[in-house]
């Protein structure tokens, strides 16, 4: 009786293992990358004014006057009001080397501005500097249809993942089945070298290209 019971337990264990193996699908997991190259059509800049004066009030007043001129020039050069935004305003006391006495004050005001024309970005820089801007940052060159480019890159990444999985399946002499899971890990646009050298106004700005990359991890079932 004990032998029969033991045999039954062994048979049941083997049956459970077989059922577990049958319920766990065989899979292959691959990474896919999609890259879409485009020419940027907009430029983001940071323009600022830094002024010094004996008092904080005087520094801020002088700064406000110059910054008003800078914003006025931005608008006159075609930058829409919605594309101009204050980034930072600060007043900092400047002390002597031991730090025991305030010598004067520095007031700083900066705005971000988006230009919809890279071709006129050089003229934009020159204009705001003449208007009093003494802090310039950028440009950050991007494409206005970034969302559409990201979706296109994702589509390419999925296609790349499938192509990789098919190679693996063929090498392993198995057939690829349905997709079980997809995980996205997209990255932002990456600026690369210029397509052609183009100088605009007195300050050269080159459009170059930007690459929008998408990365996915896909798990396929082995049929």
Mean pLDDT of 132-156: 91
Provide the residue ranges of all domains of the chain, joining segments of one domain with +.
Answer: 24-39+146-222, 42-142
Structure tokens at 96: 């002597």
Residues 23-75 have pLDDT tens digits of: 678 999 999 999 999 888 889 999 999 999 999 999 999 999 999 999 999 99
CA quadruple 56, 89, 69, 143: dihedral, nearest 10 = 160
- Homologous superfamily in CATH for domain 24-39+146-222: Protein of unknown function (DUF541), domain 1 (3.30.110.170)
More confident residue, 200 or 124: 124
Q: What's the pTM?
A: 0.66
> CATH second-level architecture of 42-142?
2-Layer Sandwich (3.30)
144 band by pLDDT with thresholds 50, 70 and 90: confident
Q: Residue 200 above 70 pLDDT?
A: no
Residues 88-143 have pLDDT tens digits of: 999 999 999 988 999 999 999 999 999 998 888 889 999 999 999 999 998 888 88
The answer to whether 217 touches 154, Cβ cutoff 8 Å, is no
CA distance 8 to 1: 11
CA distance 202 to 72: 20
CA distance 75 to 82: 10
214 band by pLDDT with thresholds 50, 70 and 90: very high
């Amino acid at each position: 009786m004990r032998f029969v019971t033991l045999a039954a337990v062994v048979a049941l264990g083997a049956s459970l293992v077989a059922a577990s193996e049958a319920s766990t699908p065989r899979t292959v997991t691959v990474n896919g990358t999609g890259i879409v190259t485009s020419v940027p059509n907009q430029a983001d800049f940071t323009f600022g004014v830094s002024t010094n004066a004996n008092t904080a009030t005087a520094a801020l007043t002088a700064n406000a006057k110059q910054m008003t001129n800078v914003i006025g020039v931005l608008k006159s050069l075609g930058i829409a009001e919605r594309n101009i935004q204050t980034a930072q305003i600060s007043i900092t006391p400047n002390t002597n080397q031991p730090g025991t006495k305030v010598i004067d004050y520095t007031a700083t005001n900066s705005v971000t501005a988006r230009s919809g024309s890279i071709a006129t970005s050089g003229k934009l820089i020159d204009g705001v500097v003449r208007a009093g801007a003494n802090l310039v940052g950028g440009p950050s060159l991007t494409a206005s249809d970034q969302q559409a480019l990201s979706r296109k890159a994702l589509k390419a990444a999925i296609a790349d993942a499938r192509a990789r999985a098919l190679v693996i399946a063929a090498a392993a002499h198995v057939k690829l089945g349905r997709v079980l899971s997809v995980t996205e890990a997209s990255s932002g646009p990456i600026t690369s070298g210029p397509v052609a050298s183009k100088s605009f106004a007195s300050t050269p700005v080159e459009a170059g290209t930007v690459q929008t990359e998408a990365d996915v991890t896909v798990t396929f079932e082995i049929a």
